[in-house]
Amino acid sequence: MDTTLAVLLGLATIASYIIVGIRLMRFCNASGVSLGWFSFIPILAETRLARLGGMNPWIVVIAIVPVIGTLIVAILALVWTWRIATNTNTKQWWWVALLLPIGIGLASSVFSGSVALGLIVGLVGVAIGTYARFMIFDPTRPMPADAIQGPAQA
């Protein structure tokens, strides 16, 4: 891939990370979960998802196990996001966020011969994935207090 196109895709991914981080932080604050700013720190963001998903955030410690731990936390993040989407009535967006990476992976392999088409597919994927998570972490639909693991301020 051309360096300029790779930089564009990288910048789009960073912008997506920031947008979703802001939205998750606001969602945590609206739901009464403390330390919402953790949403910007990779492993700590998962602790916020665990808390919102009704699980003990300390389970994220398993991510220190090189491959298996990271895989387990990635699968659990899908479960936590499903619980959040269920409690906020945004399940349709969870499916978009789940199936989109599979579709983007398939499309990028199909368009692997064309750098421009690969970039377009990648940018569309980043944009749709960002929007799906944006909709799931809607601060106007905070989590019910009984769905959050333990004391909300922990």
Residue 57's pLDDT band, with cuts at 50, 70 and 90, is: confident
Check whether 22 has a pLDDT greater than 90: yes
Check whether 23 has a pLDDT greater than 60: yes
Q: Closest by alpha carbon to 21, among 7, 32, 37, 10? A: 37
| Signed CA dihedral, 136, 147, 21, 81: sign only | negative
| Signed CA dihedral, 148, 149, 151, 154: sign only | negative
Domain ranges of the chain: 3-147
Mean pLDDT check: name the lowest of 1-5, 20-24, 141-145.
1-5
CA distance 98 to 19: 18
pLDDT at res. 37: 92
What whole-number percentage of the chain has pLDDT above 90?
A: 8
Instruction: Give how far Cα 86 sits from Cα of 29, 37, 73, Å.
Output: 19, 23, 19
For residue 54, is it left (φ>0), alpha (ψ between -120 and 50) or beta?
left
User: In angstroms, how far is CA 98 from the centroid of its own chain?
Assistant: 10
The pLDDT tens digits of the residues spanning 67-82 come to 888 888 888 888 888 9
Check whether 86 has a pLDDT greater than 50: yes
The pLDDT tens digits of the residues spanning 110-149 come to 666 666 777 777 788 888 888 888 899 989 888 877 777 6
CA distance 76 to 143: 18
